[in-house]
Structure 1
Amino acid sequence: MATEPENVIAIVPMKPLSQGKSRLAKTLTAEQRADLAMGMLRRVLLAIRAASVETIWVVGG
């Protein structure tokens, strides 16, 4: 029987919004790319929370 792991920490790497999704620069404006990156981060964080992970670190440079 499987048991729940203890003390799980999720570490989410995140570039500064101004640098994210740079390969889409020909298609999207800087603001649109920042909005996309933020939306993706929100979805990742919601998924982590849904998995009952109590500690989440968003790490960027």
Structure 2
Amino acid sequence: MADDKTKVGGQDRARININEDYEVRDGCKSLGVTEDELRRAVAAVGDRADKVREHLGKT
């Protein structure tokens, strides 16, 4: 089922969905990384934003 874009915040902020262009764009901007770096980090540690931040050294 697709994300309901009318329901933002809360749980959605805890995860990075690399299948949604806007989440990839926002994640890259927020973390200061390229799309490739973000995708590799998500592949390595999963989609939890806190784990991705930690993996990238952006705590």
TM over 0.5, shorter chain:
no
How high is the TM-score relative to the length of structure 1?
0.26
How high is the TM-score relative to the length of structure 2?
0.26
Structure (1 or 2) with the greater strand fraction: 1
**RCO comparison, higher one (Cα < 8 Å, 6+):** 1
Flag the structure with larger Rg: 1
Structure (1 or 2) with the greater helix fraction: 2
